[in-house]
Amino acid sequence: MALTPQARRAIVAATVKKLAGKSDGMKLTSWSRGDSLGADAMKSGLLYYDISIGIGGLPRKRVITHHGPTGCGKTTLKWIIAAQFQRAGGVVVSSDFERKDELSWAVRCGVALEDTDEVVGLKLLKEHTIESTFDASEEFAQSLRDAGFEGPILHLWDSWQQAKSKKTFDAGQLEGGYAPETLAYSRGLGLFIPAMDNLDITLLGNSQVRANVGAMGNEKKTKVGVGYAVPHASIAIVEFKLEQKLAGDVPYQAARGTWIKNQLSDPFGTFVMPIVYGRGVDVEWSDFECARALGMVETSGAWFTVDCGDEGTFRAQGIEKTLAQLREKPNLLSGLREKARDFIGKVREVDLDAMARVSKMNSPEEAFESHEDNGGKEATTKLVKAGETVVLPDVPEEEEKPIRRRRNQEPDVEEPKKRGPGRPKKGE
């Protein structure tokens, strides 16, 4: 006799209640309306970034990874996010495993190094191994909570790929084909993630794309690196590529970030960070590009008409004068940002090229180690509404390149020599 729905619910509820009260510490419970659905998002300080992820900001209590080539703005974006966390009443802890943190640049990005009446200054965690960094971070966060601190905690890990395991310093070898760093990250994150949830820690890691990054022991057991532990533990991964763009008639270099993995919303949302010499990522310019992607900017020749929501619209000629208006009149910039945030979760720009490339892989995590240089070309993007089906562009198969031979190098297969017509005989 089949059980009724009421009987099934009663059996499950009784079992949960019975197991939840066991003395061995089993934590089994039912969802209640007071529980949060999804991740709590905090503004990152970059509007385009918040809209592209689909939830309006950096997810708290999660692992997020930024990876890309040198000079694409990862460090600048890290400090922009850190400054925003400080302004929101949080504590920022920084670990740099390449020992290259340039704190004067952090200050220029708005980070406070010392405590003030408004914010808590930056804290530096200088541990030497992956294991000790996880332990020290959890101990520091637990001490803050015990002392009554209630704000969010952001831990910045710069250069995932440079961190070393304790076994590496102890002359440890590959274990079962896995590098010591791979195992250290796997075990460390497995223990640290529950602490992140209990202590409200957000982990943001930067990684350069190199040949030995993201590698697990292969057949030859020669590769080392962070392994699949980090991309698997990351709830979201951003891939950066540099491209040449045009704003009106002004060419500029920009870093395009694409969410190749996103377990919070639809993946492949994309954002642009214009890079300016001496300033790094130009935040106001990025906000303008975000508004333009969302259809809030009308272009007529060299003139731009910008919709700033409740603050009205303004018209300016050229990108320089348009950005000058936004910088000189904070109310216009604030209105633009508020109107743009109305699009969160409803519509965003999608990187079709990244979507097509990742669709050919076994898993999104493979993109963590398959970064390809796009030669500075601008990505193919599309504005997509929530729930809209996206048709992938056709990706041509790679053609085999002809083998280049050195001069005087013998070919692999002897080819018959062609004889010319020769010298004509006399009388012909």
pLDDT in tens, the chain (428 residues): 677 878 877 887 787 777 766 655 556 656 554 444 556 889 999 999 999 998 899 999 999 989 888 888 888 899 999 999 999 999 999 998 877 767 888 998 899 999 888 889 999 888 888 889 999 999 999 999 999 988 899 999 988 777 888 776 665 555 556 677 778 888 888 889 888 988 999 999 888 754 343 333 344 433 445 556 677 778 888 888 888 777 666 677 888 999 988 888 888 899 999 988 777 788 999 999 999 999 999 998 889 999 999 999 999 998 889 999 999 999 999 999 999 999 988 888 888 887 777 766 665 555 555 556 666 677 788 888 877 777 766 655 555 555 555 555 555 555 555 555 666 666 65
Structural domain includes residue 27: no
- Looking at residue 202, its pLDDT comes to 93
Structural domain includes residue 342: no
- Looking at residue 211, its pLDDT comes to 36
Residue 214 CA to residue 369 CA, distance in Å, equals 6
| Residue 260: CATH number of its domain | 3.40.50.300
pLDDT for 101-122, tens place per residue? Answer: 678 889 988 999 998 888 899 9
Residue 278 CA to residue 248 CA, distance in Å, equals 22
Residue 124 CA to residue 106 CA, distance in Å, equals 12
Tokens encoding 213: 């990054």
Structural domain includes residue 102: yes
- Looking at residue 325, its pLDDT comes to 93
Q: Please report the sign of the dihedral spanned by the C-alpha atoms of residue 315, residue 316, residue 319, residue 325.
A: negative
Structural domain includes residue 192: yes
- Looking at residue 128, its pLDDT comes to 82
- Looking at residue 369, its pLDDT comes to 55
Structural domain includes residue 195: yes
pTM for this model (two decimals): 0.79
Closest to 233 in 3D by CA, of 182, 281, 280: 182
pLDDT for 209-255, tens place per residue? Answer: 543 433 333 444 334 455 566 777 788 888 888 887 776 666 778 88
Segments forming the whole domain that contains residue 259: 41-282+348-384
- Looking at residue 47, its pLDDT comes to 93
Structural domain includes residue 71: yes
Closest to 74 in 3D by CA, of 337, 275, 278: 275
Structural domain includes residue 132: yes
Structural domain includes residue 414: no
Provide the domain count of the chain: 1
- Looking at residue 350, its pLDDT comes to 85
Residues whose CB falls within 8 Å of the CB of residue 105, separated by 6 or more in sequence, listed in order:
75, 76, 79, 280
SS3 327: helix
